[in-house]
Amino acid sequence: MPPTSADPISYTAKIVAAKRAIEQSLPQPLFDDPYAAALAGDEVEHLLAKWQQVSNQQERSLEEVVAKRTRYIAIRTRFFDDLLLATLPQLPEPQVVILGSGLDTRAYRLPWPPATCLYEIDVPAVLDYKANILRNYEPNCCHHLIAGDLEDVQTGWVARLLEAGLRQLPTIWLLEGVTMYLPEPSAHSLLRTVATLSCPGSVLGMDGVNDGSIRAAQRAKRDDRGRVVRHWQFGCDDPQQLLERYGWSARVSQPQDVGIAHGRYPKSMPVTAEVGGHQSERGVWLVQAKKDP
């Protein structure tokens, strides 16, 4: 996720952490994350103040604005939590790699099976910030923080990942909120690298946006709006075919289909995309995939 020149910590990572923190205040949060608020810092208050303005302008309740603005992150977090917890017990020697981990707290908040090894990869500033904020807490797994820039394989993160102990065993890979921020060649390079490191039986969790969302993001950038989406660069209309190119059999879900089961897409808040633009052209998707033999 792209950092700003004024803040070495990616503000997109802080926004995601803030939305996870705000989720905790809802009557029935979809997951438990007691660490998100500390990591988000003043971004929680910033978002709530901004959404209060939206509430006033649109004459809608703040609760409705909050629910709509946080539901994708909530659904995505729960989707990947469920994927991890369902898959890990099937692995005799569980290992997980979270690429572009940002301010993810799963190492601390999930009940990992014994002997799970978790590897997080992100730029040094983000990892150092998170390690400092959470320095008084112990992870629930064998936890490795690995510095690397996913946009460039030549930064050496693959070698450091292997040196840290990643084995040629079935692995769960998580690409949560990552590929849309990469230039298209870098996104394909990353998927190719993950495929090379994955043996049959490995599992991939990933989300992304379609091509229309990228066009909408480009408009947002031109109009100087959209603090997060203006940085999106890579979209795909057929993630199943995309992953098939790299040896994965994928099942694609729409967030609203997952969210209906959790009551996050009621008729009173119909499905709308997470970025501006024509509704017919935009969209996001969630994927779970398995590496083919």
CATH number for the domain spanning 251: value is 3.40.50.150
Q: What is the DSSP string of 219-236?
A: HHHHTT--TTGGG-----
| 150 backbone dihedrals φ, ψ, rounded to 5° | -65, -20
**53-87 pLDDT, tens per residue?**
999 999 999 999 999 899 999 999 999 999 999 99
- Is residue 253 within 8 A of residue 240, CB to CB? The reply is no
The reply to whether 279 falls in a domain is: yes
Contacts of 152 by beta carbon, 8 Å cutoff, 6+ apart: 186
Give the CA distances from residue 6 to residues 10, 126, 133, 136, in Å, rounded to whole numbers and listed in that order.
10, 14, 19, 27
The reply to whether 197 falls in a domain is: yes
CA-CA distance, 199 to 241, in Å (whole number)? 19
Count of structural domains, the chain: 1
The reply to whether 186 falls in a domain is: yes
Tokens at 28, concatenated: 């029935």
Write down the pLDDT at residue 10.
Answer: 76
The reply to whether 7 falls in a domain is: no
Residues in the chain: 293
Note the maximum CA span of the chain. Answer: 56
The reply to whether 32 falls in a domain is: no
The reply to whether 254 falls in a domain is: yes
The reply to whether 67 falls in a domain is: no
Contacts of 118 by beta carbon, 8 Å cutoff, 6+ apart: 95, 96, 97, 98, 106, 107, 112, 139, 141, 142, 143, 144
Write down the pLDDT at residue 5.
Answer: 36
Ranges of the chain whose pLDDT falls below 50 = 1-6, 8, 273-278
**210-240 pLDDT, tens per residue?**
998 888 888 878 887 777 778 889 999 999 9
Write down the pLDDT at residue 218.
Answer: 83
The reply to whether 27 falls in a domain is: no
Range of the domain at 259: 75-291
Write down the pLDDT at residue 9.
Answer: 60
In this prediction the pTM is 0.92
- Is residue 10 within 8 A of residue 130, CB to CB? The reply is no
- Is residue 250 within 8 A of residue 287, CB to CB? The reply is yes
| Sign of the alpha-carbon torsion through 13, 289, 112, 150 | negative
Write down the pLDDT at residue 4.
Answer: 40
